[in-house]
Amino acid sequence: MLGGIHRVAERTGQTLAMESALTSNASLRGPCLERAEINRAVADDKVVDEAPQSARRLARGPTRARVVDKAPLRTWSAGGVNAAGDTPPELELPLFEIEDVRSAPPAAVEIFKAGLPRTGFAFKGR
């Protein structure tokens, strides 16, 4: 019965979460996207094709940075923006020693100058 209405409230606000809880309306893709409850919807008949593509896209991303990104997001979720701003900067320091962080900024500048999408950087996970 406890289906995470608090998470809906976190994403959409208390009013929409309360409406959802009181009316027991099933969420539909369109309204969920509009209210930012979800960031993407995939048609049922496309899930099997889309899932591996999504997994590959995530795997090509900045995998080492994800650990560091999670801490302020968790803090923000529990305590708000000000609390997240107090996340110790020491968490990020190890990232500056990895190859991806040293090479990404110059590569990002080149990608920007070339007018390419930001996803053009190939992260190596080291």
The answer to whether residue 54 sits within a structural domain is: no
65-99 core/surface letters (b: 16 or more CB in 10 A; e: else): beeeeeebeebbeeeeeeebeebeeeeeeebeebe
Q: What is the CA radius of gyration of the chain?
A: 19
Q: Over the stretch 75-122, which tens digit does the pLDDT of each residue have? A: 887 888 788 777 777 777 777 788 877 887 888 888 889 888 776 667
Report if residue 110 sits inside a domain. yes
Residue 77 Cα distances to 80, 88, 119, angstroms: 6, 16, 27
Number of independent structural domains in the chain: 1
pLDDT score, position 121: 67
Residue 2 lies in a domain: no
User: Residue 74's domain spans which residues?
Assistant: 62-126
Query: Which residues contact residue 37 at a Cβ distance below 8 angstroms, ignoring those fewer than 6 apart?
Result: 8, 11, 12, 27, 31
In this predicted structure, the answer to whether residue 29 has a pLDDT above a threshold of 90 is no
The pLDDT of residue 1: 44
Please indicate, yes or no, if residue 74 is contained in any of the structural domains: yes
pTM: 0.52
Question: What pLDDT shows up at residue 3?
Answer: 60
Is residue 18 one of the residues assigned to a domain?
no
The reply to whether 118 falls in a domain is yes
Residue 120 lies in a domain: yes
CA 92/CA 98 separation, integer angstroms? 11
